[in-house]
Each structure stands twice: as C-alpha cells, then as structure tokens.
A and B are shown apart, each in its own frame.
Chain A
Amino acid sequence: MSNLNKSDIFSSLKNAYQFIVDDFEYKVIDEESSTPLLFYIRYENKNIARIISVSIDLREADFGITIWKSSDGWTRDEDMLEFKDYLKKKKSGELLSLSGEVFDLNVIEEINKKNAHLLREYGNELIVGEDY
C-alpha cells in the first residue's frame, strides 16, 4: 500500500458521501484523516437529531456506515445502528469491504461509491430521521 496517498483516500470518502450534505442538509461536525490507515467523517442534522459517520479502517478492512439518534451531539452505543446490520435485516444487499490486503485507490473508490449508493438507496428513511 506504499503508493496510497491518505489525502486521496479521504477525498474518495468525502466525495462519495457528499450527497448527505448536499441533499439532506447535514453538516460535517468532525473528520479524521491524520493517519494513512484510518479515516472518518461525522455528519449531523440537528433538525432531526441524527448523526451519521462514514469511515475507512484499513487495518480492520472495514468500511463503516453508522447512524445514531442524538439530540445533543453526543453518541451512545444504545442509539447506534450499523448500516450493514440494517441492510442484512432488510435483505437489501451488503456493504462492500476489502478482501485481504488489496490496497488500491481504485478499489477503495469503487467500494466507497457502491456503499454510498446503498446508503442512498436503502437508507433514505434513516437519513431523514425516521425511527429504527
């Protein structure tokens, strides 16, 4: 993974999920891109008391999408919903992840795009604040 640039990976994540800001009036409240292996962006829509986090953890080969009900900006495990579990329950597909140690920007971009598509397609109710 020596050719992977952390700013490229973070841009890929940010671009894929920009629709959360553009179409659903969320704001970025936190982001992390200080290391080459771990990235996340946290979005909040205060009007509907919801926080969404999208992340890449290359060490754990995990591309995460997590949603919380939160009226105070803080997130608790009891309010935490992992989108992959939601998809499984709804039988609506599966989030993609890395297989093994294949570290390629094109692969990462593709995963981000497909996972973002799944969130937009099947997670609309969660994004707009409906109960889960």
Chain B
Amino acid sequence: MVNGERLLNVGSELLFGSDRPEDVVAEPLNLPIGPGGAVKVVKYAKNAKKVVVIGEKMAERVIPYAKKINATWFKPTGKNPANWMRNQVQWIRRQIKDPNTTIIDIGSKGAKPVSPYYQKELDMLRKWLGY
C-alpha cells in the first residue's frame, strides 16, 4: 500500500441487477486515492475480469489514474463526430451490463461536470444503477 491509499467501501445499494447478486458484493477494495480525492466504486464485480475508470478530463486525470491501477477506459475510435455520443452511451451500457466489470468513478475536475460525455455516463449510471 503506497502513501495515500485508502480503503473504500462499496455502496451496498449499488447492486447490478437483482438477478445476479453473486457478482456484486459489498466488500472493501484497496484503491489508491484519485486526483480529486477518494474515488467511488460505482459497480463492484466480485470476480472482475475488467476494471474501467470514468471521470472528467481523460488525458489529465482519467487515463493516468486508470494506468496506475491497471484498469482501462473508454477509447474513442469512431471518426464520425455524429456517432461519438452514441458510441459513448453504448460503451458505458456494456460496462454496466457486464457482470465481470467493476466501474470506478474519479469524478469531475470542478464542482460540476462540464464534459457532455462524462455527464451522459453519469446519466446512464443513474438510470441503470441508481448512482
């Protein structure tokens, strides 16, 4: 454990669906502190095969943190701007639905999210997980 790491509790209300409770348990995770302080475990998969990080400012905050904890992040590849938001929505939806994915949120840079893409992710998490 490096300096600044904290034990974080997974909110027991953030269960991923009621049909697969075995995939989501309220257990502590050891995670380094994020750029803005303690990070939030939005969805916890007990036997996670993948950990994804969301948040604001991909280059400055999200990707460096994801690399630090050996996680992954949304990698936009579509070259047509008309599809960018739809691709983002489809990606976060897949992460929400995948029982083997843990989702970590490092939050926005300021008090409120500015990025429309991050805001959309939060909307989806609210809709599907009550986040």
Contacts and interface: CB of A to CB of B under 8 A. Distances in A.
Interface of A: 1-2, 4, 30, 32, 34-40, 42, 53, 55, 57, 59-60, 64, 66, 72, 74-77, 80, 101
B35 A75 contact: yes
Contact of B76 (A4, A30, A38, A74): A38
21 contacts: A1-B81, A30-B64, A35-B75, A36-B76, A37-B76, A37-B77, A37-B79, A38-B58, A39-B59, A40-B59, A53-B59, A53-B60, A57-B58, A59-B76, A59-B117, A64-B59, A66-B60, A74-B4, A76-B35, A77-B61, A77-B109
Size class of the B contact interface (CB-based, 8 Å): 20 to 34
Interface string B1-41: 00110000000000000000000000000000001110000
B84 interface: yes
Contacts, number: 62
Contacts of A59: 76, 81, 84, 117
Contact of B60 (A34, A35, A39, A55): A55
A39 B77 CA distance: 12
Interface of B: 3-4, 35-37, 57-61, 63-64, 67-68, 75-77, 79, 81, 84, 109, 115, 117
